[in-house]
Chain A
Amino acid sequence: MTMTKKLLTSAVASALMVGGAQAAISDNTVKIGYLADMSGTYRDLAGPNGLKALEMAVKDFGGTVNGTKIEIVSADDRNNPDSSSSTVRRWVENDNVDMVAGLVASSVTIAVSKILEENDRLGIVSGSAASSITNEHCTPNHIHYVYDTYPLANGTASAVVQEGGKSWYLMTADYAFGHALEADVTRVVEANGGEIVGSVRHPFPTQDFSSFVLQAQASGADVVGLANAGSDTTNAITTASEFGVTQAGQTLAALLLFLTDVHALGANTAQGIQLTTGWYWDMNDDTRAWSDRFMEETGVRPTMVHAGIYSSTLHYLNAVAAAGTDDAQTVRKQMIDTPINDMFATDGRIREDGRMVHDMYLAEVKTPAESKNEWDLYKILRTIPADEAYRPLSESKCKLVTN
């Protein structure tokens, strides 16, 4: 190497270092905004207990990053993309929020991620399900952490089809999440040699499912697939059992069930239902130890979303500490470069499209006889390896992925 080249290299290197030092941590605070449904349909699966999980993560991290303090603000998203957008706009433009956590209803997440992209801040999505969030709606400013509709369909739908449920009738929640799940389920059912013989898109939320259950019965399908979530799913299951759907020989497949839903239904009503989950509290010593701490704080067992909020916040704070800055792109790169090994995931990794891929689990709800207490609800049937579970990058429509 010539002298000039050496000089040039060291000049560039020192310029980079100076740049790095200048970036540091903006306004001497790492500010995290927690946006989630705090009072509506999705309150129990994320909600105030998700904020508790976030606070646990900040506390376990020590309350400061490289000597600068960590602040948390929170807001109710009211499942409303418009009001959530203005909340986040205020957070990033006036309050210097660096990272938005929580993010539950898919419609809210898609709206908010655009504002984060405009202002170059980070979003870590723990609650939403739509796989489109890291596909056609991907941005360089958000990470989708816990699960999405792709593995939900891959796990549950393919298991049900392989057990002989060839013809499907779908009940879909009529918004972004339901549409994404419907598309993913249709793909999996057809790929496994089954077919969709009918479907209905119901308003979100719906209380009375009797009309839709009747249509599903008239369709004569083997399987009634529920592409909805929260109280919509539990109401549909209750009505289906009232109208004798399973007694008449049809199988119920709930594509998205959270621990809180199953707990509300109880082992008696929900027994035997198969579901796909990203995490379960009673899998090993690490998950149990963390869940015990969570239960001391909240009085309930954590859902996969609660666990994801805790894990992703720690991963974020570690990245900020390692990079020495809260600059969105630097931190995101650091997060992508570091594998995730904690109570939530083993060898989890974040891809360039923002999707965190990790093992998923096909579970079955225990019978009342098997269930030892009110939260002892799942037995894990099968581990779905990370690469098999999520949409491969080769099929991605994300603008960040070059195929």
Chain B
Amino acid sequence: MSMIFGVPLAVLSGQLLIGFINGAFYALLSLGLAIIFGLLKIINFAHGAMYMLGALVTVVLFNTLGVNYWVALFLAPLLVGAFGVLIEYFLLRRIAGQDHIYSLLLTFGVALIIQGVLTNIYGVSGLRYAMPDMFKGGFKLDFMFLPYYRAWVIVVALLVCFGTWFVIEKTKLGAYLRAGTEDSQLMQGFGINVPLLVSLTYGFGVALAAFAGVLAAPIYSVTPGMGANTLIVVFAVVVIGGMGSIGGAIITGILMGVIEGLTKTFYPPASSAVIFLVMVVVLMFRPAGLFGKEA
């Protein structure tokens, strides 16, 4: 068998694919974060909590009302998105236009409260969400066993990422959005309801996080703390990609998943640090991030 740095090629191919799948998760999460920052200039530290809420709502909906996976895939992001709209309307709106640090602290506080309350109710051992029947089993590839569900995650995550990028960068709705945040008074003069647009944008960014949460529910332990661990990594991804760059967040997300996967193969103890190492290097040479525009 051919080897690369002492690792069989087959194992390496498997690790690349796994990294790609995790990268798709990172892309989905950092995309929402990048939209919220890029369009609203809010540093959303509640993003991890929203991801967790997406997963938790999926489990709770199933346990109490028997709502199945496919319905949850739409319903959970909708509910969490609506919750996000409420947060924007009642809290974030009051500090609009202030320094970034205010939105950071406010959303961080909201995240801690959500996480703390849910820890008291559900504990930390994790809730189970049974794998939907049609996803049980997997493809027997030459180099690895690929569960059907992971294959589905790649497809759907990339579709949603591309769709979102397309809407914001290429359609009229996206143009309104970008213009509304660029010069809200002028847009209002044109008869566009900018505050509503802002609320919906925040709600949409949060719904993307919740969507990633639904995707995560069948494969990870659903715990109130699951978002906190992921959030920091996702923030690093957004910083590497360039704060606010939507396409950058997607590409960097996938790239970081692959780099992390390779680190897990060659030197596992560094796998929790490697993304931050990349961040340091990128910031040294390109302070605005890989895809960011220099201010």
- Collect the chain A residues with CB atoms within 8 Å of residue B14's CB: 214, 218
Q: List which B110-149 residues lie within 8 A (CB) of chain A.
A: 116, 119, 123-128, 131, 137-138, 144-145, 147, 149
Cross-chain contact A200 with B268 (CB below 8 angstroms): yes
A264 interface residue, CB < 8 Å from B?
A: yes
Cross-chain contact B221 with A264 (CB below 8 angstroms): yes
- Collect the chain A residues with CB atoms within 8 Å of residue B272's CB: 203, 206
- For A211, give its contact among B145, B223, B264 (CB under 8 Å): B264
Cross-chain contact A205 with B10 (CB below 8 angstroms): no
Name the residue among A40, A42, A43, A208 with the largest chain B CB count within 10 angstroms: A208
Among B17-25, B184-192, B206-214, B280-288, the stretch in contact with A: B17-25
- Collect the chain B residues with CB atoms within 8 Å of residue A238's CB: 219-221
How far does the alpha carbon of A107 sit from the alpha carbon of B274 in the complex, in Å? Answer: 24
Question: Considering the complex of A and B, which 5 residue pairs feature the smallest CB-CB distances, nearest first?
Answer: A203-B272, A264-B125, A211-B264, A43-B124, A44-B125
- Collect the chain A residues with CB atoms within 8 Å of residue B126's CB: 231, 234-235, 264
* Min distance, Cβ B13 to any Cβ of chain A, angstroms: 10
A324 interface residue, CB < 8 Å from B?
A: no
B181 interface residue, CB < 8 Å from A?
A: no
Cross-chain contact A264 with B264 (CB below 8 angstroms): no
Cross-chain contact A211 with B15 (CB below 8 angstroms): yes
Q: List which A206-227 residues lie within 8 A (CB) of chain B.
A: 206-208, 210-212, 214-215, 217-218
Known contacts A210-B150, A242-B149, A266 near B128 by CB under 8 Å: yes
* Min distance, Cβ A367 to any Cβ of chain B, angstroms: 16
B8 interface residue, CB < 8 Å from A?
A: yes
Cross-chain contact A205 with B229 (CB below 8 angstroms): yes
**Beta-carbon nearest neighbor of B273 in chain A:** A203
* Min distance, Cβ B127 to any Cβ of chain A, angstroms: 7
- Collect the chain A residues with CB atoms within 8 Å of residue B261's CB: 211
Known contacts A203-B269, A211-B264, A248 near B145 by CB under 8 Å: yes
B193 interface residue, CB < 8 Å from A?
A: no
- For A231, give its contact among B125, B147, B264 (CB under 8 Å): B125
Cross-chain contact A239 with B125 (CB below 8 angstroms): no
* Min distance, Cβ B10 to any Cβ of chain A, angstroms: 7
**Beta-carbon nearest neighbor of A206 in chain B:** B272
Cross-chain contact A244 with B145 (CB below 8 angstroms): yes
- For A214, give its contact among B123, B144, B221, B268 (CB under 8 Å): B144
Which of the four size classes fits the interface of chain B?
A: 35 or more
Known contacts A40-B225, A44-B125, A211 near B219 by CB under 8 Å: no
Q: List which A178-207 residues lie within 8 A (CB) of chain B.
A: 200-203, 205-207
- Collect the chain A residues with CB atoms within 8 Å of residue B268's CB: 174, 200-203, 212
Cross-chain contact B123 with A269 (CB below 8 angstroms): no
Cross-chain contact A210 with B125 (CB below 8 angstroms): no
Cross-chain contact B223 with A231 (CB below 8 angstroms): yes
- Collect the chain B residues with CB atoms within 8 Å of residue A40's CB: 124, 225
- For B125, give its contact among A174, A200, A263 (CB under 8 Å): A263
Cross-chain contact A243 with B145 (CB below 8 angstroms): yes
Cross-chain contact A235 with B144 (CB below 8 angstroms): no
- For B269, give its contact among A174, A207, A208, A243 (CB under 8 Å): A174
- Collect the chain B residues with CB atoms within 8 Å of residue A212's CB: 264, 268
* Min distance, Cβ A267 to any Cβ of chain B, angstroms: 11
* Min distance, Cβ A264 to any Cβ of chain B, angstroms: 4
- Collect the chain A residues with CB atoms within 8 Å of residue B171's CB: none
Cross-chain contact B125 with A234 (CB below 8 angstroms): yes
Cross-chain contact A44 with B123 (CB below 8 angstroms): yes
- For B119, give its contact among A39, A201, A263, A266 (CB under 8 Å): A39
Cross-chain contact A215 with B265 (CB below 8 angstroms): yes
A383 interface residue, CB < 8 Å from B?
A: no
How far does the alpha carbon of A39 sit from the alpha carbon of B228 in the complex, in Å? Answer: 12
A261 interface residue, CB < 8 Å from B?
A: yes
Name the residue among B125, B126, B268 with the largest chain A CB count within 10 angstroms: B125
Cross-chain contact B116 with A231 (CB below 8 angstroms): no
Known contacts A215-B265, A238-B220, A39 near B116 by CB under 8 Å: yes
A265 interface residue, CB < 8 Å from B?
A: yes
Cross-chain contact A201 with B138 (CB below 8 angstroms): no
- Collect the chain A residues with CB atoms within 8 Å of residue B119's CB: 39, 43
**Beta-carbon nearest neighbor of B262 in chain A:** A211
A260 interface residue, CB < 8 Å from B?
A: yes
Encode contact with A along B11-35: 1 for CB under 8 Å, 0 otherwise. Answer: 1001100110110000000000000
* Min distance, Cβ A198 to any Cβ of chain B, angstroms: 11
* Min distance, Cβ A298 to any Cβ of chain B, angstroms: 11
* Min distance, Cβ A115 to any Cβ of chain B, angstroms: 27
Q: List which B171-207 residues lie within 8 A (CB) of chain A.
A: none
A26 interface residue, CB < 8 Å from B?
A: no
- Collect the chain B residues with CB atoms within 8 Å of residue A243's CB: 138, 145, 147
How far does the alpha carbon of A263 sit from the alpha carbon of B150 in the complex, in Å? Answer: 26
Cross-chain contact B221 with A235 (CB below 8 angstroms): yes
Known contacts A39-B119, A264-B126, A201 near B221 by CB under 8 Å: no
- Collect the chain B residues with CB atoms within 8 Å of residue A260's CB: 123, 125
**Beta-carbon nearest neighbor of A234 in chain B:** B221
Cross-chain contact A218 with B220 (CB below 8 angstroms): no
A41 interface residue, CB < 8 Å from B?
A: yes
**Beta-carbon nearest neighbor of B17 in chain A:** A214
Cross-chain contact A264 with B15 (CB below 8 angstroms): no
Known contacts A40-B225, A214-B14, A208 near B125 by CB under 8 Å: no
- Collect the chain A residues with CB atoms within 8 Å of residue B21's CB: 210
**Beta-carbon nearest neighbor of B228 in chain A:** A40
- Collect the chain A residues with CB atoms within 8 Å of residue B220's CB: 207-208, 235, 238
* Min distance, Cβ A316 to any Cβ of chain B, angstroms: 28
Cross-chain contact B229 with A201 (CB below 8 angstroms): no
26 contacts between A and B (CB under 8 A): A174-B269, A200-B268, A203-B269, A205-B229, A207-B226, A208-B22, A210-B18, A211-B19, A211-B265, A214-B11, A214-B14, A214-B18, A215-B11, A215-B265, A217-B144, A231-B125, A231-B126, A231-B221, A235-B126, A235-B221, A244-B137, A244-B147, A261-B125, A264-B125, A264-B126, A264-B128
Cross-chain contact A207 with B229 (CB below 8 angstroms): yes
- Collect the chain B residues with CB atoms within 8 Å of residue A215's CB: 11, 15, 264-265
